[in-house]
Structure 1
Amino acid sequence: MRVASDFRELARRALSGKWVSAVLTTLVASILGADIMVNGGSSTSGITNSVTNVVNRGNGDGSSYDGILASMSITSMTYILGAVMAVVSILIIVGLVQYVIGSFVSLGLIQYNLDLIDGKDVEFGQIFSKASMFGKAFWLRLRMDIFTFLWTLLLIIPGIIKSYAYSMSGFILAENSEMTAKEAMKVSEKMMAGNKWRLFCLQFSFIGWQLLCILSLGIGFLWLTPYMNAATAAFYDEISREPLN
């Protein structure tokens, strides 16, 4: 049974000579809202945090704005409020577009990484190869988010466990286009039975690289993200060959 270091080794071998392609493909897919785990939270949470930071910036209670607001005319405040609302609206629209488009681009990115691990020729255009599955891809992303959210309402831990249980749904749907989103999630749950800890260990094994990427002001993630995606594809490739319970 392979461990985290084995999956990372398989990823490095697959990426050898193809780093430029992988970096550019992953970058564009990410801008479009793709996530190899088909989890829409990353696209929307960043926007939510940005809006929250704008509102809460200062001393936390808004007292730092008191002096400024007191000196502003009603007209100036109206203009500023309008500008803030416009920015917030644009961010929300961008987030929604990323969420919708990113659903099928995620499946395309998954297929790119599966082919990469299999040693096949890969190309940038593969991220759009699942556009015909838009409806299923969108419903899968939305269904996963809804179910994970509902489980999280019980307690945080059950939500995390379920997110790992559903984590292979995108891979399954990408390889089995005849399946429904519900079926893909059920198969993922069976596939991840006994494998959740292995995936957690694989993800945690990148923590050192992630810290270095943060120190590089995020630039390092251009290389780390394709590396992690390829390793995850290698993980799926192995567990998908195991008999389901």
Structure 2
Amino acid sequence: MWTRAELKSRGKESIKRNYWIVVLVALVAGIINGQLTGNASYRGMKNEIENAGWDGGTMDLLTSPQFLVILTALLGILVVFFVGFTLIKIFVGNPLLVGCNRFFVENSDRKARFGLLGMAFQGGNYSNIVLTMFLRNLFVWLWTLLLIIPGIVKSYSYSMIPYILAENPSISRERAFEISRKMMDGQKFDAFVLDLSFIGWMILSAFTCGILDIFYVVPYRQTTWAELYKVNREMALQNGIASPEELRGFPFYQ
């Protein structure tokens, strides 16, 4: 069984091994996962609105036909951007995330290549990766719609799927889900606490406008989670959860 201290210690070593490439790959993964700290200021928005003169006297303008036309157009633009962003995430972001995870696991034992980010677009398994990752995100989202807590639980239950796909891009989506669930059986709360252990760093990063996120916090979390996958991988093989043909290893395992 793993401990947070062991995983985080090995994660730090992975960062030191290939620092600037790790930072760059973590930046890509952080953007895709939305892990970079946001720093929007309500007070600043309030001041901007007040300075622009938006007070009670503008209600006539807000209810005018011209304003409604403009509002409808803006909403339409937002919908187009949302749909476009979603499609980019499905067909580009998720495959890149699988490549990022491949990089982090390989970099655990040796300096990995930045080019590993594109592994999902090679080898003829692109469609399987896209569909499996899409279903993973969809199922988590649907569980979250029911209740927040089940959505969080499912997100941890399916958290190993991108790593499994990184190791075996041709694995069936049914087996990817099954192996991930069994890997995380009894570990979801521990993984949640592992994430909580980074909160102090996240708070500190907020005071640096997210700079610390880019250069340390997100790489630290990504490399630590790669170490968690390595532990779960070995346990899955030892306990018969997955076969050597399914988790066939990365180059450094051979």
**Normalised TM-score (structure 1):** 0.78
Aligned counterparts, 1:17-96, within 5 A: 17-31=17-31, 33=32, 35=33, 42=34, 67-71=57-61, 74-75=65-66, 78-79=69-70, 81-83=72-74, 85-96=76-87
* Number of residue-to-residue matches in the alignment: 222
1:69, 1:92 → 2: CA distance? 31
Question: Would the aligned equivalents of 2:95 and 2:129 in 1 still touch at CA under 8 Å?
Answer: yes
Q: For the residues of structure 2 that align with 1:18 and 1:209, how far apart are their CA atoms?
A: 21
The 8 Å contact of residues 8 and 231 in structure 1, kept in 2 or not, is answered as yes
Higher-RCO chain (CA-CA 8 Å, sequence separation at least 6): 2
Select which of 175, 195, 218 maps to 2:210.
218
Determine the structure 2 residue equivalent to 1:51.
none
2:234 match: secondary structure: coil
Show the 5 A alignment for 1:1-12: 1-12=1-12
- Give the match for residue 188 of structure 1: 180
Question: Which secondary structure does the structure 2 equivalent of 1:129 belong to?
Answer: helix
Structure 1 distance, partners of 2:71, 2:158, is: 43
2:185 & 2:240 partners in 1: Cα distance?
Answer: 9
Q: Which moved more, 1:132-141 or 1:146-155?
A: 146-155
What is the letter of the counterpart of residue 90 of structure 1?
A: F
Superposition RMSD in Å: 3.0
Distance 1:190-1:28 versus aligned 2 partners, 3 A rule? closer
Residues 156/74 of structure 1: CA separation in 2 closer, same or farther (3 Å cut): closer
AA partner of residue 233 (structure 1): A
Matched, 1:134 2:131: no
Where does residue 168 of structure 2 map in the other structure? 176
Structure 1 letter corresponding to 2:112: V
1:113 aligns with 2:104: yes
How many angstroms does 1:77 deviate by?
5.6
Verify the 8 A CA contact 2:90 2:134 in the aligned structure 1: no
The 4+ residue runs of structure 1 with deviation greater than 4 A are 72-77
Q: SS where residue 148 of structure 1 aligns?
A: helix
Of 95-104 and 148-157, the range deviating more from structure 2: 148-157
Flag structure 2 segments of 5+ consecutive residues without an equivalent: 39-44, 242-254
* Percent identity of equivalent pairs: 27
Residue 95 of structure 2 is aligned to residue 104 of structure 1 = yes
For the 8 Å contact 2:17–2:110, the answer to whether it is kept is no
- Residue in 1 that maps onto 2:189: 197
- 1:98 deviation in Å? 2.4
Contact 2:12 2:220 in 1 (8 A): yes
